[in-house]
Amino acid sequence: MTAQIKDTADVVIVGSGAAGLMAALTLAPRRVLVLSEKAPGGVCASQWSQGGIAAAVGAEDSTESHVADTLKAAAGTADAAVVRALVEAAPKYIEILARYGVQFEKDETGAYKLSREA
């Protein structure tokens, strides 16, 4: 780390998408510097996503169905153990994001509004 950055931040995160910003939030109160390349249209890659988070949070939802769907969509490019670990952790992170103030859509009963991607 150069002296200027070292004097400014304890941690440097490269990327200002959802993962980089979540890392920055969880590292507080450390001094965090987030570096971001200006993407076409001034948005990060996360803003190009289809707008959903794959997490088994519904009454009729299951980890197994999310794992199967993710592996199918990955068409052989995903590590099944990594996919399973991420899918199993996803509901916990939905709750963390909600505590940080992310306003997920909910129905009249307070349950998350769910939909299928694409």
Tens of pLDDT, residue by residue over 79-113, are: 999 999 999 999 998 898 889 888 888 899 988 88
Q: For residue 56, give every residue at least 6 positions away whose Cβ sits within 8 Å of its Cβ, in sequence order, or none.
A: 62, 63, 65, 66, 87, 90, 91
Cβ atoms 63, 88 nearer than 8 A: yes
Contacts of residue 80, defined as CB under 8 A and 6 or more positions apart, other chains included, come to 67, 71
Q: What is the pLDDT of residues 34-93, one digit of tens each?
A: 888 766 666 666 666 655 677 899 888 899 999 998 899 889 999 999 999 999 999 998
Residue that the structure tokens 């992310």 belong to: 102
The distance in angstroms from the start CA to the end CA of the chain is 42
DSSP lists the bridge partners of residue 11 as 32
**Where are the domains positioned within the chain?**
1-49, 50-118
Calpha distance 59→63 (Å, rounded): 12
Please report how the helices 63-74 and 80-99 are oriented relative to each other, as an axis angle in degrees rounded to 10. Answer: 120
Contact status, residue 45 vs residue 18, Cβ threshold 8 Å: no
Overall residue count recorded for the chain in this entry: 118
